[in-house]
Structure 1
Amino acid sequence: MSKIITETPRLIIREFNLDDVQAVYDFNADERVNLYTGDAGVVKSLADAERIIRDIWLNEYLQFGYARWAVVLKETNCVIGFCGFKNDYRIDETDIGYRFAPEY
Structure 2
Amino acid sequence: MSTYKSFETERLLLKPTTEEDAPLILALLNSPKWLQYIGDRNVRSEADARSYIQTRMIPQLQRLGYSNYTVIRKSDREKMGVCGLYDREGLEGIDIGFAFMPEYEQKGYAFEAASEIKRAALEVFGITRISAITSRGNTASQKLLEKLGLTFSKMVQIPNDKEELMLYEFTIG
Q: Same fold (TM over 0.5)?
A: yes
Aligned equivalents of 1:15, 1:85: Cα separation in 2: 11
Bigger RCO of structures 1 and 2 (CA < 8 A, at least 6 apart): 1
Report which of the two structures shows the higher radius of gyration computed on alpha carbons: 2
The alpha-carbon deviation at position 21 of structure 1 amounts to: 0.7
Q: Judging changes above 3 Å, is the alpha-carbon distance between structure 1 residues 41 and 53 closer, same or farther for their aligned structure 2 residues?
A: closer
- The answer (yes or no) to whether the contact 2:30–2:40 under 8 Å persists in 1 is no
Measured on the aligned residues, the alpha-carbon RMSD in Å equals: 1.8
TM-score (norm 2): 0.53
Segments of structure 2 that go 5 or more residues without pairing to the other structure are 105-173
Segments of structure 1 that go 5 or more residues without pairing to the other structure are none
Q: Which runs of 4+ in 1 moved over 6 A?
A: none
Q: Does 1:76 align with 2:86?
A: no
Partner of 1:102: 102
Identity rate, percent: 28
Q: Does 1:65 align with 2:51?
A: no
- The answer (yes or no) to whether the contact 1:14–1:69 under 8 Å persists in 2 is yes
Partner of 1:88: 88
Partner of 1:23: 24
Aligned equivalents of 2:41, 2:7: Cα separation in 1: 30
- The answer (yes or no) to whether the contact 1:28–1:101 under 8 Å persists in 2 is no
TM-score (norm 1): 0.84
Q: Judging changes above 3 Å, is the alpha-carbon distance between structure 1 residues 4 and 80 closer, same or farther for their aligned structure 2 residues?
A: farther
Equivalent residue pairs, number: 102
- Structure 2 residue matching 1:88: 3-state secondary structure: coil
Letter in 1 for 2:32: E
Letter in 1 for 2:43: V
Aligned equivalents of 2:80, 2:5: Cα separation in 1: 15
Q: Judging changes above 3 Å, is the alpha-carbon distance between structure 1 residues 65 and 4 closer, same or farther for their aligned structure 2 residues?
A: closer
